[in-house]
Amino acid sequence: MLSILLVTFPFFALVLCGYVAARRALLPQAAIPGLNTFVLYFALPCMLYRFGASTPIAQLLDGALVVVYLLCALVMVAFTMAVTLGRDHGRIGWNDASFGALVAAFPNTGFMGVPLLVALLGAQAAGPAIVTIVVDLLVTSSLCIALSRLDSADIHGAEVAAQKALRGVALNPMPWAIVLGALASWLQWSLPQPV
């Protein structure tokens, strides 16, 4: 128990520090979007690349894991959508229902999951966690974002929504970092030490 606390405490202490800094105006509200952008576009992709490059390619290409996790994610999305749309007889639309499904099905694997799992379970935990991130980024989030656009869909609405969702995935640096890390793992290539 103490070993788990020693690993998890720094992560949650850092979150608490951020909360206190924002609450006491040590971190201006205007700085928070910039900090989020830095984490999303620079820090997190670098971490995912590093874990992908250091994970054996067989762990990153685990088909059984992909199928099981994908089925579970789709069941979670479908269940959440059905329950949400069935409530209040039409007062909740596709937009709210689909973002509720995204919240229900999309874990915090990237920001907290990978580093915590690797710290707790060792390097072998990185592969499965990275696979779940890829499924969530490519399928779960794209599906939920496309479904969110159905409220305002005209004849071409669903197609346009799907194209926008796919464009968002293509511009997201996290899947690219994972793919490049997996490629580096497969080719057994490593970056120069300072990089």
Q: What is the pLDDT of residues 4-33, one digit of tens each?
A: 777 778 878 988 998 898 888 888 888 888
- Whether 6 is covered by a domain: the verdict is no
Which tokens sit at 101? 């499904």
Q: Tens digits of per-residue pLDDT, 33-61?
A: 888 889 888 988 888 898 888 888 888 88
The answer on pLDDT for 67 being more than 80 is: yes
Instruction: Confirm whether 76 is domain-assigned.
Output: yes
Q: For residue 5, is it within any domain?
A: no
pTM of the model: 0.71
> Considering the domain boundaries, does residue 3 fall inside one?
no
Specify the number of domains making up the chain: 1
In terms of C-beta density within 10 A (0-12 exposed, 13-18 middle, 19 or more buried), how is residue 45 classed?
Answer: buried
Residue ranges in the chain assigned as alpha helix (H): 2-23, 32-38, 44-54, 57-60, 63-86, 94-105, 114-121, 126-135, 141-148, 157-171, 173-187
Please say whether the beta carbons of 134 and 62 come within 8 A.
Answer: no
| pLDDT of 159 strictly over 90 | no
CB 114 within 8 Å of CB 130: yes
pLDDT level of residue 156 (50, 70, 90 thresholds):
low
Assess if residue 58 is contained within a domain.
Answer: yes
Let me know if residue 2 belongs to a domain: no
Any domain includes 24: no
> Residue 145 falls within a domain, yes or no?
yes
Residue 118: domain span: 39-187
**For the stretch 82-119, what's the b/e string if a residue is b when 16 or more beta carbons lie within 10 angstroms of its beta carbon?**
eebbeeeeeeeebeebbbbbbebbbeebbbebbbbbbb
